Structure 1
């Protein structure tokens, strides 16, 4: 799973493949400007363009290049002892002047709660 210390995750364990969660994740990434990206077999991201005021804040606050930041919601799936463990996380990605992206985590308790509810509603046992 992820080893980035600054990227808190919401985690749940499933007894079987969480097809309902996969469908909900994919279908929620359908607004104009949203981009569903398959990073690997176990990682999928919904990349979202932030509103202009949020984009300006991120670029100024985190010394970004003049390139639009991206809000990312990520789903990572792994198998552990026969169970399927799913981690949902979110972060902003701000391209630095060096050209390298920087991940920024800004805690959103309402989003954490929404992710926990989604994991449980689709059959997971929350483990946060």
Structure 2
């Protein structure tokens, strides 16, 4: 384990410093990635429409970064607040962030799903809960959009 940490740090530094290769796996638990031949214009536009159609709010930071925020139903919100020591003054949100970056082989898109959980101490935590069904759904969406999940 002592050897793994320096190796991981070196690998991450290399990925951050150069754009020569496609990363070999999801950067965060639950995140899914795919390689596209070029920029997937339709993916970002379709995701924004789907988000607002289901009652969510979108934030487009730039052409490569889209965030969809949705409030959970009341029962789920209550369960999250109780389990993660949240507060009713600031409700949790279910988030899907889609972001991409050019790569030598094309364009890499990452889809990251997480819960923003405001706490009683005023800080917001990102909660990632494993879900094979959600992971598979995100991989399928990336594939339908023309990407090659990896």
- Category of TM-score, reference length = shorter chain: 0.7 to 0.9
Unaligned runs of 5+ in 1: none
> Residues 11-64 of structure 1, C-alpha deviation per residue, up to 9 Å, x if partnerless?
001111101211221111124641001245532111001000110011111111
Aligned match for 2:137, one of 108, 111, 114: 114
Partner-residue secondary structure (3-state), 1:74: strand
Q: Closer, same or farther in 2 for the Cα pair 1:95/1:39, shift >3 Å?
A: farther
Greater length-normalized contact order (CA 8 Å, ≥ 6 residues apart): 1
Retained in 1: the 8 A contact 2:30–2:129?
A: no
Give ranges in structure 2 of 5+ residues lacking alignment.
1-15, 17-26
How far has the Cα of 1:82 moved from its partner? 5.0
Question: Is the 2:142–2:149 Cα contact (8 Å) retained in structure 1?
Answer: yes
Following TM superposition, where does structure 1 have runs of at least 4 consecutive aligned residues deviating by more than 2 angstroms?
A: 5-8, 38-43
Would you tell me which structure has more helix in proportion to its own residues?
A: 2
The normalised TM-score by structure 2 is: 0.75
Q: Which of 92, 97, 108 is the aligned partner of 1:74?
A: 97
Residues paired across the two proteins, number: 124
1:20/1:41 Cα in 2 relative to 1: closer, same or farther (>3 Å)?
A: closer
- Cα root mean square deviation, aligned: 1.9
Greater Cα radius of gyration, structure 1 or 2:
2
Partner residue in 2 for 1:98: 121
TM-score by length of 1: 0.87
Per-residue CA deviations over 1:48-102 (Å, capped at 9, x if unaligned) read 0100011001111111122211000110111121511000011111101121111
